[in-house]
Amino acid sequence: MFQALFLKNQQFRTIAVSRAFQAFGATLFTYAFLVYAAELPHAKLAVSVISLVLALPSMLQFFFGAIAGRVTQRIQWILTTRLIETAGYVVIAIVFATTTPGWLPLLIILPFLVLSDVISNVAGLVLQPLIKHLVVDEHLEAANGYMMAINNTLAMVGGVIGVSLLALVHHNFTIFALLNGGFFLLSWVNLFIGRRQLLVTDRQFSDLVKPADTHLRAMMVAGFAVVRQDAMMVYIISMAGLVNLLGNAAQGLLQLSVLANKQMWHGWLRDNLSVDRCWHRCRYRCWFVLIQWLFA
């Protein structure tokens, strides 16, 4: 199975490797940014603000799905957003280099991190139908599993590696932001090298599936109307939302607890990753059950 997907299917391999670099870059900076916030005055408030704001994208998956469904030139869209994210981290490095640590750089950088998280979520949804077109039906479940494993694994280990790299550069956030942008650049380079075949496949897929012409608001209203007609669907979506809410709350509380107890700092990454592991597993399990129900 691995040989059929990664060694023989060049287009899937290109997408998977590019996605891995992007997911790794998106995870690295989040934990380092929490370290930056922990060194500010009113650190508890800073960490609380970051945790709250960065939790918003995970609660808006439905909107991201509607946006992803309207993207026509998928590969070109992803190449463009990779460059935007790379340039964004260069700007972040400049902000760190030209400002003193405080709330101003935090409030400048935080919106970009939200944007980067949104782009990462939408990119995964944009690629999903293309992967289905690239992979034969008998390998599709394994392909989806590999892509999900990439996200979950990097979400668990990215924090450890990120803070370790931050220590290696002696908490120089300017250098770290440039290193982080390098991962997005690698993601772009990998996709750019293999873009020709992917662009052909993307055009073939676009000819088969036309994006919806319905207004986004009308789509959302129609979607909610369908959901309300099925009690089981309402229950599943409610439980998935509750898992997201509790997971985000637990993560924020843990970060505040660690800040209040400095003797825990040496193990805060291990504890943080334990919460992240449970959170990501529960969240993806709930959404997986929902998707199975929708397409049963």
Q: How many residues does the chain have?
A: 296
* CATH number of domain containing 123: 1.20.1250.20
- Examine residue 61 and state whether it is found in any structural domain, yes or no: yes
Q: Which of 69-83, 99-113, 141-155 has the lowest mean pLDDT?
A: 141-155
Q: How confident is the model at residue 89 (pLDDT cuts 50, 70, 90)?
A: very high
- Examine residue 295 and state whether it is found in any structural domain, yes or no: no
- Examine residue 164 and state whether it is found in any structural domain, yes or no: yes
For residue 117, is pLDDT > 80? yes
pLDDT digits (tens, 9 = 90+) for 8-44: 778 888 888 888 888 888 878 877 888 888 888 887 7
Mean pLDDT of 106-111: 90
Domain that includes residue 186, residue range:
2-211
pLDDT digits (tens, 9 = 90+) for 220-235: 676 667 667 777 767 7
DSSP assignment of 137-152: HHHHHHHHHHHHHHHH
Q: How confident is the model at residue 296 (pLDDT cuts 50, 70, 90)?
A: very low
Structure tokens at 81: 């957003």
Cβ partners under 8 Å of residue 45, min gap 6: none
Domain count, the chain: 1
- Examine residue 178 and state whether it is found in any structural domain, yes or no: yes
The full 3-state SS of 150-212, as one line of letters, equals HHHHHHHHHHHHHHHHHHHCCCCHHHHHHHHHHHHHHHHHHHHHCHHHHHHHHHHHHHHCCCC
- Examine residue 7 and state whether it is found in any structural domain, yes or no: yes
Structure tokens at 283: 């969240």
Q: Is 212 left (phi over 0), alpha (psi -120 to 50) or beta?
A: beta
Q: How confident is the model at residue 268 (pLDDT cuts 50, 70, 90)?
A: very low
